[in-house]
Amino acid sequence: MRESTGPTFIGCGSDFASATSVLLGVPFDGTVSFRPGARFAPAQIRMESVGLETYSPYFDADLTDFSLCDLGDLEPPFGNTEKVLQLVQEQMRHVFQHNKKLIMLGGEHLISLPAITEAKRQYDDLVVLHFDAHTDLRSDYLGETLSHATVMRRVWEVLGDGRIWQFGIRSGTREEFYWAKAGRTVLQMHDFTGLGAAIAEIGHRPVYLTIDLDVLDPSVLPGTGTPEAGGVSFPDLITALKAVSTLNIIGSDLVELAPHYDHSGASSAVACKVLRELIIAVSIGL
Amino acid sequence: MRESTGPTFIGCGSDFASATSVLLGVPFDGTVSFRPGARFAPAQIRMESVGLETYSPYFDADLTDFSLCDLGDLEPPFGNTEKVLQLVQEQMRHVFQHNKKLIMLGGEHLISLPAITEAKRQYDDLVVLHFDAHTDLRSDYLGETLSHATVMRRVWEVLGDGRIWQFGIRSGTREEFYWAKAGRTVLQMHDFTGLGAAIAEIGHRPVYLTIDLDVLDPSVLPGTGTPEAGGVSFPDLITALKAVSTLNIIGSDLVELAPHYDHSGASSAVACKVLRELIIAVSIGL
Amino acid sequence: MRESTGPTFIGCGSDFASATSVLLGVPFDGTVSFRPGARFAPAQIRMESVGLETYSPYFDADLTDFSLCDLGDLEPPFGNTEKVLQLVQEQMRHVFQHNKKLIMLGGEHLISLPAITEAKRQYDDLVVLHFDAHTDLRSDYLGETLSHATVMRRVWEVLGDGRIWQFGIRSGTREEFYWAKAGRTVLQMHDFTGLGAAIAEIGHRPVYLTIDLDVLDPSVLPGTGTPEAGGVSFPDLITALKAVSTLNIIGSDLVELAPHYDHSGASSAVACKVLRELIIAVSIGL
Amino acid sequence: MRESTGPTFIGCGSDFASATSVLLGVPFDGTVSFRPGARFAPAQIRMESVGLETYSPYFDADLTDFSLCDLGDLEPPFGNTEKVLQLVQEQMRHVFQHNKKLIMLGGEHLISLPAITEAKRQYDDLVVLHFDAHTDLRSDYLGETLSHATVMRRVWEVLGDGRIWQFGIRSGTREEFYWAKAGRTVLQMHDFTGLGAAIAEIGHRPVYLTIDLDVLDPSVLPGTGTPEAGGVSFPDLITALKAVSTLNIIGSDLVELAPHYDHSGASSAVACKVLRELIIAVSIGL
Amino acid sequence: MRESTGPTFIGCGSDFASATSVLLGVPFDGTVSFRPGARFAPAQIRMESVGLETYSPYFDADLTDFSLCDLGDLEPPFGNTEKVLQLVQEQMRHVFQHNKKLIMLGGEHLISLPAITEAKRQYDDLVVLHFDAHTDLRSDYLGETLSHATVMRRVWEVLGDGRIWQFGIRSGTREEFYWAKAGRTVLQMHDFTGLGAAIAEIGHRPVYLTIDLDVLDPSVLPGTGTPEAGGVSFPDLITALKAVSTLNIIGSDLVELAPHYDHSGASSAVACKVLRELIIAVSIGL
Amino acid sequence: MRESTGPTFIGCGSDFASATSVLLGVPFDGTVSFRPGARFAPAQIRMESVGLETYSPYFDADLTDFSLCDLGDLEPPFGNTEKVLQLVQEQMRHVFQHNKKLIMLGGEHLISLPAITEAKRQYDDLVVLHFDAHTDLRSDYLGETLSHATVMRRVWEVLGDGRIWQFGIRSGTREEFYWAKAGRTVLQMHDFTGLGAAIAEIGHRPVYLTIDLDVLDPSVLPGTGTPEAGGVSFPDLITALKAVSTLNIIGSDLVELAPHYDHSGASSAVACKVLRELIIAVSIGL
């Protein structure tokens, strides 16, 4: 793995051995179909985190209450998608084998595939919670099966029917929506309606939570590759994170911030805060 | 008319003869009082439309379900407002005489005047629905009667009292508000309250729907000439479009996107999606 | 004081003697901890105010209904915080001694301290209303006691327990939140819940109202030094201003717009409109 | 004329009666063919001039050595080009009749036409120096004879053959270049070669100097409507201004800064400095 | 090939059969190591070309003097580099087999590899002229042999020693510079010194000219993935293009404009003009 | 000193003990008179340095040829200028006492004062080379003696007449220029003319080299607080750095990059490269 060239995220100063949760950056955006730039998210988020407090008034918890380790970034070879996925999966194995909780920081959404694939190896009854604007259920994109636009279809191939809950979805082809509704996934359009029921149904099963930041409305986070109007608000997302913090989340990721597209810095600031809350949500049950 | 120099909007590949609805760009912003740039909207929207799906989950309809023709752009001579309006009106006549539904893409709001004027010639009991942040009811602006700040006053001169319904309005002079409330128009401040009643009252009459994109809150669409805080949300606008899709909309326009003012591209992406929904709302009753 | 080098804010053309409310710019941002640039707010707001109407449909009132004087800007010596505060306090004395209502335009939040200090000298039973994303209750920041991150702690030292009502707060250290809740201030997280009760309790006492524009959600106002997701909406803020307009507001300020961080101009446009409403809220009871 | 709503340019604090040179802003860009926004130049230049010194090390002269008056801005009615030109011409008459030297600040290039037309009425043997990237010699643009792309053709109709010297030209149609070279104007491509000879030939005749800021290379001034690579450097322009300062310049203008297109502010800063040097070049012979 | 979704470049309205030179866009940037975004160059350049004249005063020639065809864009599958290269090579075969001159518009620099590979099949004594800031001679980049940082090394493998002339180079590893100087390529640092000698040596051999726009100084073209200070000026590049227009250029490309990184639009405008001159330089000898 | 929260600059991975040259960031901009933001330079430069090669073709040297240590950043308390200067001076003492060569990374220009003051204590016959657009010789600025606009006047008070050589200067008050020319400093306007003579005269004396990045033309580096047209080119600066690399430079700094003002990133990229060359110029004689 790459020698860390960036600062650590605030409050994540533990070493790997003593940490219960670990942060890993994957600055890869090689299959992005529209506007690339998610590769810059991990460095930008860490740099901007100096403007953030470690204390969450939402959880009444502080990052310094936990043992958190920031592993730095993988160094993905651009142009070779399969090798990137392999590198990610190796890291995940390392993390899961040591019983650490994972918080992966994209980069683009395709990186969820190797993480979930590995999580499934470790936790057989794994389910996935997916917050996103897009279905990501295409069979292929321009002939390619490995793409940020097909990632949840690939994940479904790993997990099977009824193991994926999707929230906030508002963009896709007609075929994707109909395919999902035919029982492949549990798909909630626009918002988090039904999240409570999902949580009840999931129970104690291990959960991988993947958050595409474009689930947020573009007014809140314009700095993403494919902004989709009609998204959830920041308080909606916080409420959802508080709800899922009761689950047994064994891994999670936060993807698709493209910081260069928002010169105001607000998108990066929002992503920093979502990351703080996500870390707490994942770690708080420990 | 100008040889089309831009791509067509996604899903609008029919020819004029077979199309039921036609898209026409009018890249004119010559009377804009504050920040110009709406002239760049048609080209930007078409270029950015590659990032949009043709399927609308709101209507459960797809642009490819319809026969849509993108006529490209008029080439307005800047500095000669009257000639621009004349060019627009000639195009409108062509469109209306062939019983096509019009979706005009501005450019600035003054271009609604020749379109409505011509629609009134064709459909005598025409009414107008107006979604906007601004009253646009000034008698003149710095002495000029033809301005994007006076366009609805001019439209009123064409249609008379009680034929214009205005929604989302939150900026104007005291005189404009009082003049409207004296029975000239039906003016709803801030939002779409009363739209259902308006739809009932309009009934089967032919409708021209003019949407100034600054009706949206600037958080959703900062890329406009005169952003006005306190606007409607994107879901509010979609709900309104679904409601009016039951009406007999014979013409419509979408104006005042100034894409250069939003470097994140989110404003253009929002406008693309509103245009998709508008095209469907206009075409779905056919 | 500096020779005014900027235009006046729209509708503020009275001279000092005849004015009932006065506007003063303080383009200082020397203690800003994260992103500076609030110094540019007064000039930008005045320049952009040409795009604003003088009429408020919220209050059904017009700036031209009042006698308003724009004093222009102080010229703060950067690098010498104490001298800046002294200059501000001298101006405040001048304003309060002539029984004018103050609307101060920042600049950063620390400038509230000399204004409130002077207001307290003039009005002994002064209370403070504080709209902000941040607690601003640190004892010190990197060892400095005079900072925009400590300003409300310093104000508390002037006023004592129970004289400060804070609304919209969503960022701070755990210590700050706990200190406030121990009875030092009345702190409402996230929004304006409880404002009605506060207004009732304040009654006829003289009020200083300080508005840090980052109380607004960053989607509405990204152009600020430390944007904090989860803020209030523009209509929320307008509703609050209408509510407090019934109070005896003797001074107020509007701080922390950093216009260069929002190239769309939407943040400046929002600030212009908030300033218009604030001026009316302060002046309407006269 | 419009009540001045902007600050004066630094060092221009004299009143009209005592001034020998006067500055007038004309924030009009209604005939701009590509990217508008020159209307914002006068206000931006005045606001940014606070970052400029009044002393010119190039001339070893200071703006405060002269009696300079900033008249503020005209308020052009957008959409009515002819009326705008008439307003400008009336102001020019006022200035020239009082034997003041004019420095007009655009706005777009068409505003040179009424200024030169009026100058010709006052000074019959007037010649014109024209620094620009573009020939501006079209007979018409999209059928319009009044356009920033036709302005020097119109000026030629006022002055006749051999009275216009053009420098820095590098863009136009083949027809424009050939027409110019047929003896209509003296056209120097790319740079200021031949300026010395021109100055010698002009001798004591009254001169109107019009500077389109796009004569500068876009690396120096990207903030203009139609940037044209291959332009002159800033020192080239300063050298030219020093050379022409020996002439009897009775009027001048500086046009086509579009400040919103350069968020770095460098274009506005360059324009401020060129304006300082232009004011001195015009005024120094008095 | 993708249905053309963009406008044609100005003056390129001929069909393939009658054209002597053809323009092809390849919006691919999948191996870019630092800042991606070159994928947006073809669409942006075509859209911005409306602000350009068809006449070149440098060549005294007009695009309309030639028969030029704009084939539109390939649609590269992101994430599968080898397939992209194969798609490009197929197109090149088509173009070269019909004896058309190629002007390829990137996208990133790796796309030169399949074009040159195919050109070498068609023209055995092919030589390459390479204008660039970077050596692009790495053996691999992070283990990948197909990368925009290795493209000229791969080209060397196709052509062998002494067949590549490199100009303007100013960035690379020590190893790359030393490897080149050991006789692999003819490498001129910083500028075009020696271009005349190269042209003489090349003589009548067929030439492929590849221009990485970052050969220009970042002041002229900041909108590129890896800006490198110390580059050539625009007039330098024009002079070089005029010099090489005497050669038998059978193919060429213009790569690495990343338009989103320059919001002023100046970089895109420069690229448009370089493309005009490149098309003429390639076509003028016919 | 602050725990380093940023990455190290490329090639600076040695520890303090083994390093011969050390890099220290001082993210302070508290006395900046016009546009602040230099505080963000150290973090931005380190983050962007991943896009830079360690090899300099100008010096034919590589950063990895030297033993370089990046100490990270000081954490200056904003609002307390004197304390900041004291913190810097303490660090300098540490560096100079260990006979390390200093490369300080601003932040604003005032930080040169404590560094030079301390250098003078260590090296009595110290001279200063000053590359800048501004004289920085004001006696005070708005009454303040400690300001980035007065820093070289303060340095003169430390060193006395004839110990400061200034190059590239093109902005200041008349008084400053005349004061300098009266023998206080050796001031070269606009460029590096006379640098060779200065080097000869300096001989073996210890040198502190302070580089305000605004010495570069704004076309090359628009991202600075007060851009001044007419500056030196990048090759000019490199040539100067090569020339001074023969001197005994014991300390140096690079100040006044304000990265947020150049969204293209070109300014930061230029600063990275200048820093690489500066590090080599300082270290190469060892």
Residues F223-244: pLDDT tens digits? Answer: 999 999 999 999 999 999 999 9
How many contacts does B have with C, using Cβ atoms within 8 A? Answer: 63
Q: In whole angstroms, what is the distance from residue E177 CA to residue E173 CA?
A: 7
Instruction: Work out the pLDDT band at E4, boundaries 50, 70, 90.
Output: very low
User: In terms of Cα–Cα distance, which of C250, C176, C251, C253 is closest to C212?
Assistant: C253
Which tokens belong to E33?
């190591």
Question: What is the structure's pLDDT at C286?
Answer: 53
Q: In whole angstroms, what is the distance from residue C63 CA to residue E241 CA?
A: 62
**What tens digit of pLDDT does each residue of E63-111 get?**
999 999 999 999 998 889 999 999 999 999 999 999 999 999 999 999 9
Question: What is the structure's pLDDT at F105?
Answer: 97
- Asked if C47 reaches chain B (Cβ–Cβ under 8 Å), the answer is no
- Asked if B46 reaches chain D (Cβ–Cβ under 8 Å), the answer is no
Q: In whole angstroms, what is the distance from residue B28 CA to residue B104 CA?
A: 12
CB-closest option in B53, B54, B234 to A229: B234
Residue A47 identity? M
- Asked if D176 reaches chain B (Cβ–Cβ under 8 Å), the answer is no
pLDDT digit of tens for each residue in chain B (286 aa)?
Answer: 443 445 789 999 999 999 999 999 999 999 998 899 999 999 999 999 989 999 999 999 999 999 999 999 999 988 899 999 999 999 999 999 999 999 999 999 999 999 999 999 999 999 999 999 999 999 999 899 999 999 999 999 999 999 999 999 999 999 999 999 999 999 999 999 999 999 999 999 999 999 999 999 999 999 999 999 999 999 999 999 999 999 999 999 999 999 999 999 999 999 999 999 999 999 996 5
Neighbours of chain D (3+ CB pairs under 8 A): B, C, E, F
Q: How far is F241 from chain A (nearest CA, A)?
A: 28
Collect all residues with Cβ–Cβ distance below 8 Å to F191 and sequence separation of at least 6: F167, F168, F232, F236
Q: Once rounded to an integer, what is the mean pLDDT over residues A210-217?
A: 98
ipTM of predicted assembly, 2 dp = 0.94
Tell me which chain D residues have a C-beta less than 8 angstroms from the C-beta of B74: none
How many contacts does A have with C, using Cβ atoms within 8 A? Answer: 63
- Asked if D218 reaches chain E (Cβ–Cβ under 8 Å), the answer is yes
Bridge partners of residue D208, in order along the sequence: D128, D251
Question: What is the structure's pLDDT at B142?
Answer: 87
- Asked if F43 reaches chain A (Cβ–Cβ under 8 Å), the answer is yes
Question: What is the structure's pLDDT at A242?
Answer: 97
Instruction: Work out the pLDDT band at A286, boundaries 50, 70, 90.
Output: low
- Asked if C55 reaches chain A (Cβ–Cβ under 8 Å), the answer is no
- Asked if D1 reaches chain E (Cβ–Cβ under 8 Å), the answer is no
The domains found in chain A, sorted by start residue, are: 21-283 (3.40.800.10)
Q: Are A30 and E33 within 8 A, CB to CB?
A: no
- Asked if D220 reaches chain F (Cβ–Cβ under 8 Å), the answer is yes
Tell me which chain D residues have a C-beta less than 8 angstroms from the C-beta of C50: 5
Which residue do the tokens 């891994």 mark?
A: A251
CB-closest option in E36, E110, E146 to A37: E36
**What tens digit of pLDDT does each residue of E235-270 get?**
999 999 999 999 999 999 999 999 999 999 999 999
Asked whether residue D1 carries a pLDDT value surpassing 60, the answer given is no
Q: How far is F43 from chain A (nearest CA, A)?
A: 8
Please state, rounded to an integer, the average pLDDT across all residues of chain D. Answer: 94
Asked whether residue E149 carries a pLDDT value surpassing 70, the answer given is yes
- Asked if A170 reaches chain B (Cβ–Cβ under 8 Å), the answer is yes
Q: Once rounded to an integer, what is the mean pLDDT over residues C45-53?
A: 93
Q: Under a CB-based contact definition with an 8 Å cutoff, are residues E48 and E261 in contact?
A: no
Judge if pTM exceeds 0.90: yes
- Asked if D112 reaches chain E (Cβ–Cβ under 8 Å), the answer is no
Q: Are F7 and A5 within 8 A, CB to CB?
A: yes
- Asked if E129 reaches chain D (Cβ–Cβ under 8 Å), the answer is no
Q: How many CB atoms lie within 10 A of CB E243?
A: 15
Bridge partners of residue B24, in order along the sequence: B104
Q: How far is C91 from chain D (nearest CA, A)?
A: 22
CB-closest option in A177, A190, A218 to B270: A218
Please state, rounded to an integer, the average pLDDT across all residues of chain A. Answer: 94
Collect all residues with Cβ–Cβ distance below 8 Å to B285 and sequence separation of at least 6: B245, B246, B247, B248, B249
Q: Are C5 and D50 within 8 A, CB to CB?
A: yes
Q: How far is D66 from chain F (nearest CA, A)?
A: 15
Instruction: Work out the pLDDT band at E6, boundaries 50, 70, 90.
Output: low
Q: Once rounded to an integer, what is the mean pLDDT over residues C244-252?
A: 97
Question: What is the structure's pLDDT at C1?
Answer: 40
Residue A210 identity? T
Which tokens belong to D136?
């501006």
The chain A residue lying nearest E260, using CA atoms, is: A261
The chain E residue lying nearest D220, using CA atoms, is: E219
Cβ within 8 Å of B, E 250-279: 263
CB-closest option in F5, F47, F263 to A263: F263
- Asked if B43 reaches chain D (Cβ–Cβ under 8 Å), the answer is no
Q: H helices within chain A, ranges in order?
A: 41-48, 81-97, 112-122, 151-159, 174-179, 195-202, 234-244, 266-283
Question: What is the structure's pLDDT at E79?
Answer: 84
Q: Are A263 and B264 within 8 A, CB to CB?
A: yes
Asked whether residue A6 carries a pLDDT value surpassing 70, the answer given is no
3-state secondary structure of F208: strand
> Is the preceding omega at residue F251 within 30 degrees of 0, hence cis?
no
φ, ψ of residue A249 in degrees (nearest 5): -80, 115
Q: Alpha carbon of B13 to those of B9, B10, B17: distances in Å?
A: 8, 8, 12
Q: Once rounded to an integer, what is the mean pLDDT over residues C10-22?
A: 94
Tell me which chain F residues have a C-beta less than 8 angstroms from the C-beta of A5: 7-8, 50
Tell me which chain E residues have a C-beta less than 8 angstroms from the C-beta of D169: 57
Please state, rounded to an integer, the average pLDDT across all residues of chain F. Answer: 94
Q: Once rounded to an integer, what is the mean pLDDT over residues A184-200?
A: 97
Q: Are C6 and D47 within 8 A, CB to CB?
A: yes
Tell me which chain C residues have a C-beta less than 8 angstroms from the C-beta of F29: 36
Asked whether residue E165 carries a pLDDT value surpassing 80, the answer given is yes
How many contacts does C have with D, using Cβ atoms within 8 A? Answer: 18
Q: In whole angstroms, what is the distance from residue A54 CA to residue E246 CA?
A: 65
φ, ψ of residue F167 in degrees (nearest 5): -130, 145
Question: What is the structure's pLDDT at E168?
Answer: 98
Bridge partners of residue C188, in order along the sequence: C167
Q: Are C34 and A50 within 8 A, CB to CB?
A: yes
CA angle C76–C81–C84, rounded 5-degree value: 35
Of the residues E45, E46, E78, E262, the best mutation for testing chain B's interface (the one with the most B CB atoms within 10 Å of its CB) is E46
Q: Once rounded to an integer, what is the mean pLDDT over residues C257-281?
A: 97
Q: Are A78 and E31 within 8 A, CB to CB?
A: yes
- Asked if A230 reaches chain C (Cβ–Cβ under 8 Å), the answer is no
- Asked if C106 reaches chain A (Cβ–Cβ under 8 Å), the answer is no
Question: What is the structure's pLDDT at F286?
Answer: 53
Tell me which chain E residues have a C-beta less than 8 angstroms from the C-beta of F51: 34-35, 226
Instruction: Work out the pLDDT band at C142, boundaries 50, 70, 90.
Output: confident
- Asked if A2 reaches chain F (Cβ–Cβ under 8 Å), the answer is no
Q: Are C222 and A57 within 8 A, CB to CB?
A: no
Q: Alpha carbon of B230 to those of A133, C62, C236, C276: distances in Å?
A: 25, 18, 9, 14
Q: Under a CB-based contact definition with an 8 Å cutoff, are residues C223 and C263 in contact?
A: no
The chain B residue lying nearest A191, using CA atoms, is: B235
Instruction: Work out the pLDDT band at C78, boundaries 50, 70, 90.
Output: confident
Q: Once rounded to an integer, what is the mean pLDDT over residues F271-277?
A: 98
Q: How far is C238 from chain B (nearest CA, A)?
A: 9
CB-closest option in C177, C218, C219 to A57: C177
Q: How far is E56 from chain D (nearest CA, A)?
A: 8
Q: Are F7 and A8 within 8 A, CB to CB?
A: no
Q: Are F43 and A43 within 8 A, CB to CB?
A: no
Q: In whole angstroms, what is the distance from residue D66 CA to residue D284 CA?
A: 8
Q: Once rounded to an integer, what is the mean pLDDT over residues F94-109?
A: 96
- Asked if C78 reaches chain D (Cβ–Cβ under 8 Å), the answer is no
The span from the first CA to the last CA of chain C, in angstroms, equals 28
Question: What is the structure's pLDDT at B7?
Answer: 73
Question: What is the structure's pLDDT at F5?
Answer: 44
Question: What is the structure's pLDDT at D286?
Answer: 53
Q: How far is B195 from chain A (nearest CA, A)?
A: 21
- Asked if C171 reaches chain A (Cβ–Cβ under 8 Å), the answer is yes
Of the residues A33, A39, A74, A78, the best mutation for testing chain E's interface (the one with the most E CB atoms within 10 Å of its CB) is A78
Q: Are B143 and D83 within 8 A, CB to CB?
A: yes
Q: Under a CB-based contact definition with an 8 Å cutoff, are residues D121 and D95 in contact?
A: no
Q: Under a CB-based contact definition with an 8 Å cutoff, are residues F210 and F153 in contact?
A: no
Question: What is the structure's pLDDT at F97?
Answer: 94
φ, ψ of residue A106 in degrees (nearest 5): -80, 175
Q: In whole angstroms, what is the distance from residue C169 CA to residue C191 CA?
A: 7
- Region of residue F71 (left: phi > 0; alpha: psi -120 to 50; beta: else): alpha
